[in-house]
Chain A
Amino acid sequence: MFKRAEEDRFEREIVPHLDSGYNLAVWLLRNSHDAEDALQNAAIKAHQRLGSMRGGSAKAWFLAIVRNECMNSARGKKMEWSLSEERDAPLACGSPEEEVLQRIQAENISAAINALDAPYREAILLREIEGLSYAEIGSVAQIPIGTVMSRLSRARKMLIEWLKEKERA
């Protein structure tokens, strides 16, 4: 009597990823209040556009919407970061030793990730915490797989440097 295919599909495919969406929003916006608002907007958009979701990973599809809402939120608040910033120096050229890596000052690993610029923070989160594949990260962040790999690689180098330095101290 109350079965509705669309609503059921939303429950089945999107609702299980609300926590992941919230987690991504918190990491990107660094603020739980803004993250809740972004997630709310993303849920409404996902609900409206569910019919346009074709195959693929529902999680990646939903996280892409969440990310977009986070960008809108950051833009509205004139926050000092951009996710589309093209600062990805290709890792293939130049040996890692020559690279100037961002220096991180942080107490623990969460704070260290939080100190990374948004594109790197996002790549690490989606890979290590959310377990997305390179292709899925690419579709969430709207970047080619090569860029996914170079961002992940730089993020990891910075975090490994931080770990080593912390252990030396």
Chain B
Amino acid sequence: MKKRAISLTVLLLFVFSILAGCGQKPAENNAPAPNGEKAKLEIWVYDEFYKDGDNSPIAQATKKFNESNPDIEVTFVPTPYGSSSYRDKYIQAANGGGGPDVILSDNVWVPQLAAMNLINPLTEKLGDKKNEFFQGTIDAATWNNDIYGVPFHADIMVLFYNKTAFKNAGLDPEKPPTTWEEFRSAAKALTKDGKYGFGLLGGWGGSFEWLPWFWQNGGEILDASGKKAAFNNEAGMEATEFFLNLLTKDGVVPKAAFTWKSWDELTAGFATQTIAMAEGMDVLLQKLDSQKVDFEWGVAPLPGKKTQAATLGGGHWVINKNSKNVDAAYKWIDFISSKDNLGMMDAYKRTSARIDADSQEIIKNDARKQVFFKAMEYARPRPIIAEWTQIDYDTIQPAFMSVIHEGADIKAAMNKAAEQVDKIMAGE
């Protein structure tokens, strides 16, 4: 009996030790480097930034950093861009106490990661250097009075229009619309024979393209307290009605566009002349440049109303809360976002978030890119609240879709969305 108990205990101990061994983390290799040991930095970037492996511009630029910082070793981990593939992967890793040291974060994710307490505030480290970036890009990373991300690339929304189609419709191809009414009448004139005046990423309900119109009319998502919805006030409703009417009553948007969710689909729509105007960012310019089209097209600032406004997208460098090499990580971020590396942004055909980005070759030599650059002055990030994605996906997009697909009343739909937003902000 005794013997049996002993053997049982031994066996159980053995089993537990195996299991405990499994649970134990292998010795942390990114512990702070005392002397002679290298600080190891793991950096996540969107896979498009690391397409060519070690020959990718960012890896090439980092070589210089390695030379002057032999005590820091940088490893890039390219990860497919996307909320579920990239952001959620990071959230899971960081919540478990691990994850990379630095990630490139879409600017809408920064307040979310900050609210979840998964990234470090960088206000002090950044100091006066924040003035080297466009205010909008710093705003995008500012949450609860702290700056959580260092701006990297900036994507600005402008108007893309088909000059040939303008000519054919009797419009002046060198005078793209500058007001809402001009835009609407141009879109109507361009809509004929199975072609349409305007197209958008309708699979998202159009909320992405809607924001500039909404802001231009003085609309705000939340009121001054930041706790209550304000987008259904008079100014907001006027903009929303104008915009949604383009999609419904005015009939200037093809039905097919209501399923488009990717830039590829929008590019195809524009390149095949299905749509003559679109709101697009830098990526649309790149995609159209890579296609052979047999018509002339151009870019212009979005038409304005009371004020001018455009949506500002882009990426920020953020540092993991769990990183053991915060100083080394910031050192690298400071290096990569410096003026010396504007050439790297050229290689990516991306616009830097720096105010001196106009010294980039691709901006200096391309009149179209200057349109983008000038729009930086008034470009605004999407609402800088952790709840924005939820508000967008769970209230505004469904409201728009109920108007587009089910013929719901715009006012009623937006009021219902506002009630839901109040609940979300209250944490119910």
Task: State yes or no: do A and B come from one complex.
Answer: no
> A-side interface residues toward B, CB under 8 Å?
none
> B-side interface residues toward A, CB under 8 Å?
none
